[in-house]
């Protein structure tokens, strides 16, 4: 069954059809959420919430964009909200100047060197980017959306996406220098 048929069945209360949609898009949502939040317990929770939100708004889904894009949009917004929540809760415990807007956090080079595998190194590099840069990298490089689609999902002008991508790549290149030699 294609997505539209599965959505139709889900609307009629067929749980098996909705479960099939979860299986079909789990990996795509995982890329977005784990890319944004890292491998944390909250990431699994946000992944679940993405599908729960979709279930709640099942009757509102018009199919203007593909289901994958629709789910990615929910996932990225929930992830950005989670990052804001983290920042707020951290600022309750630490002085505000620690959280002044920084485009990039420089990870400890030893940390990167010590990382066991490429995945971990990439994840550390990704987490060192400020959320607005990370979201662009996740959508464009991990999820492989086009620049136009990335701009639409994030509701940004294409020029902004391009400039954020360029700055993020410059940073990533310096962190992952050994890996990309």
Partner 1 sequence: MLDLLMKSFDKELSPDERKQLEKILSESDELRSEKKKLLKLREVFSSQEYRFKPFFESRVMNRIHKLRNGKIIEFDFAKNLFFVFKRVAISGIAAILILLISIYISEGSFSLDAFTGVESFSDDNLISYLLSDF
**172 near partner 1 (CB under 8 A):** yes
**90 near partner 1 (CB under 8 A):** no
How far, in Å, CA of 6 to CA of 172, rounded?
39
Closest approach of partner 1 to the CB of residue 85, in Å: 19
**Member of 44, 61, 152, 156 binding partner 1 (CB under 8 A):** 44
- Of 78-86, 89-97, 106-114, 162-170, the window that binds partner 1 (rule: CB under 8 A) is 162-170
Closest approach of partner 1 to the CB of residue 145, in Å: 11
- Of 65-73, 77-85, 98-106, 114-122, the window that binds partner 1 (rule: CB under 8 A) is 114-122
SS3 readout for 80-123: HHHHHHHHHHHHCCCCHHHHCCCCECCCCHHHHHHCCCHHHHHH
How far, in Å, CA of 87 to CA of 89, rounded?
6
> SS3 of 132, please?
helix
**84 near partner 1 (CB under 8 A):** no
Closest approach of partner 1 to the CB of residue 61, in Å: 16
**103 near partner 1 (CB under 8 A):** no
CA 87 to chain centre: 17
How far, in Å, CA of 175 to CA of 125, rounded?
6
Tokens matching residue 81? 């909200």
**17 near partner 1 (CB under 8 A):** no
> SS3 of 104, please?
strand
Question: Tokens 């959280």 sit at which residue?
Answer: 99
How far, in Å, CA of 148 to CA of 155, rounded?
10
Closest approach of partner 1 to the CB of residue 20, in Å: 9
**119 near partner 1 (CB under 8 A):** yes
Tokens matching residue 96? 């505000």
Positions touching partner 1 (CB under 8 A) are 15, 18-19, 22-23, 26-27, 30-31, 34-35, 43-44, 47-48, 51-52, 55-56, 118-119, 122, 137, 140-142, 144, 147, 158, 161-162, 165-166, 169, 172-173, 176, 179-181
């Amino acid at each position: 069954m294609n997505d539209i048929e599965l959505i139709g069945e889900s609307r009629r209360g067929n749980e098996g059809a909705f479960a099939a949609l979860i299986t079909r898009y789990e990996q795509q949502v995982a890329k977005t959420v784990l890319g944004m939040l890292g491998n944390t317990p909250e990431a699994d929770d946000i992944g679940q919430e993405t599908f729960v939100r979709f279930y709640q708004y099942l009757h509102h889904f018009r199919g203007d964009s593909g289901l994958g894009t629709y789910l990615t949009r929910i996932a990225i917004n929930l992830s950005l909200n989670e990052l804001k929540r983290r920042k707020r809760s951290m600022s309750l415990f630490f002085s505000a100047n620690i959280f002044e807007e920084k485009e990039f956090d420089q990870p400890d080079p030893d940390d990167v060197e010590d990382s066991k595998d490429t995945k971990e190194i990439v994840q550390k590099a990704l987490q060192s980017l400020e959320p607005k840069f990370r979201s662009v990298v996740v959508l464009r490089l991990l999820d492989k959306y086009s620049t136009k689609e990335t701009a639409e999902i994030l509701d940004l002008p294409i020029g902004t996406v391009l400039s954020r991508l360029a700055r993020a790549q410059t940073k990533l290149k310096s962190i992952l220098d050994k890996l990309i030699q």
